[in-house]
Amino acid sequence: MQFLKNHISWVICILSFFSAFFYNQLNLQQLPKDKIRDNQTVITNDDVSYLVPPENYLISGVWKDNSIGKQSYFIRPPGYGIFYMVFLKIAGYPLALKWLKIAQLLLFSISIYWLYRIAFSLLKHNKMALFVAALYGLTPFASGFLFYTLTEGVTPALLLLFVFLLFKAYEITSTKQKNCYYFLAALTFSYLLLVRPPLGFMGILIPIFLVKEYWETRKIKTMIQLFLFGIIAFSFTAIWQVRNYKITNEWVGLHPIYYSEGNSMYRPTLKEYWNFVGGWAQEGQEAHSYLVPMWQAAIKGDTSFVYINNAIQTFPKEVVSFFGEQRLVAVFRKYQQATLFQKPYYEKRLPMPKETPAIEQEVIQEFKQLTKEYKSEFWMNYHFIAPLKVFKTMAFHSNLSLYIFQQTYRGNVAMDAIRLTFFAIHSLCFIFLLFNLIFIKKTDWRQTALAISVFSYVFYLCYFQRGIEERYTLPILPLLLLGMVAISQQLITRLRRLS
């Protein structure tokens, strides 16, 4: 019994492994069979683009998926695919999927210890740190993607490892060991960036920690360290981008889904369309409900008005009134014509021309003009209301995304109580992020650094990306949870002093 008391954090880690396995295995048993890949993992629209490149690489020695054109070489960054390839090499398909799940479960359970150590370092309270670890690890709050073949199966653990290494580097006294931990932190971040590039915002923690640690006593050495650790932090992504440049002779960026040669729905025209409807933060699910049928029909030669009407029906009344239905119909007609231009390439499975076709350039300019006019006329909505709408969608849900919570047991009194409880916890995590920024001068600087980096990522999703899925915020959830508990602890302490 004394052993368990002394190692309770590791007990929580072990129990987290089995609890996460239980929730996900139960969910797998309840899912329709057509939603499961080889009785092992949950099928999604995106996971093929992560799984196919490593499979092709082991067969042909070339890292690419099965899509058309040069885009097939770099549609996704290779970080998660490399992780999967390790098990593919060892066990082969489909056994690799089982090993992948086990590895993701192990990473999740070990990350509970990293979270505990981070929490203890900030809270200076063992029971509170254990509470954070138990809430995150033992409940279904954060383990919903461990049986998916998506980046969210590993990114929460990788981010916690990155933060843990930074905290360890700051706390240790030996200069040699400090540099070793900072090196490992930079290396972890480099891989994290190769798995999920938008999490690059968390990289600001490296210069914050280094400057706080060394700037006052040795400025020149700090600048050298910033340079060296910065090179390490971006090394994997730099190698990937150089490789892509050699293939295309151009910079393809971190998110090349709209690459000009791509022969799918994801054309440069769609990118500009997203910018337009992002003005009022139309949700991706709603946009796909009319845009996918419109494109699928047009690529077969059907440019019926009904598809345009279905699209315009989803627009806010003030948008239709301002632009006029006739103008909006004309733009959608051009979009359909652009899809008709794509049709012969699509049917022959040929890449689109590298130079964007004239008809697509017209559509792009039309959508750009619509976006520009919308920003001017509805500037309050564009710059404030729409990002807040995205924040609302992002924050106010239970994060219990598994099928068993949303379908199988929905309506059950106990299940609804669980969903309501985690709705409150998840919502408070985001609300308390704002409190962390308000009390920025009265908290541990490391807590402030975490809040700033997390807020930067949230702001990017709300203001710039504007289209989110529930899983996008999963990597930062443990840090949000920690921030909520830290601020709550500080507020309780102040209230006690006042009383």
Q: What is the per-residue pLDDT for 1?
A: 53
Closest CA to 433 of 354, 486, 498: 486
Tokens of 285: 């699910």
Long-range residue pairs from 44-53, CB within 8 A, at least 24 positions apart, any chain: 44/148, 44/149, 44/150, 46/150, 47/148, 47/149, 47/150, 49/75, 49/76, 50/76, 50/80, 50/81, 50/84, 50/149, 50/150, 50/151, 51/81, 51/84, 51/149, 53/78, 53/81
Rounded Cα gap, residues 231 and 228, in angstroms: 5
Q: Tell me the C-alpha distance between 175 and 169, whole Å.
A: 9
Q: What is the pLDDT of residue 216?
A: 78
The reported pLDDT for the residue numbered 491 is: 84
Task: Kindly state the helix (H) or strand (E) to which residue 171 belongs, with its residue range.
Answer: helix 155-171
* DSSP, res 250: S
Mean pLDDT by groups of 10 residues along the chain of 499 residues: 69 97 96 94 91 96 93 95 97 95 98 98 95 97 96 98 98 92 98 97 96 86 93 97 95 91 94 96 94 97 97 97 97 98 96 95 98 97 97 95 91 92 97 85 86 97 90 97 93 81
What amino acid is encoded at 447 in this protein?
Q
Q: What is the DSSP letter of 497?
A: H
- Give dist(CA 205, CA 340) in Å, integer: 48
What pLDDT shows up at residue 25? Answer: 97
pTM greater than the 0.75 cutoff: yes
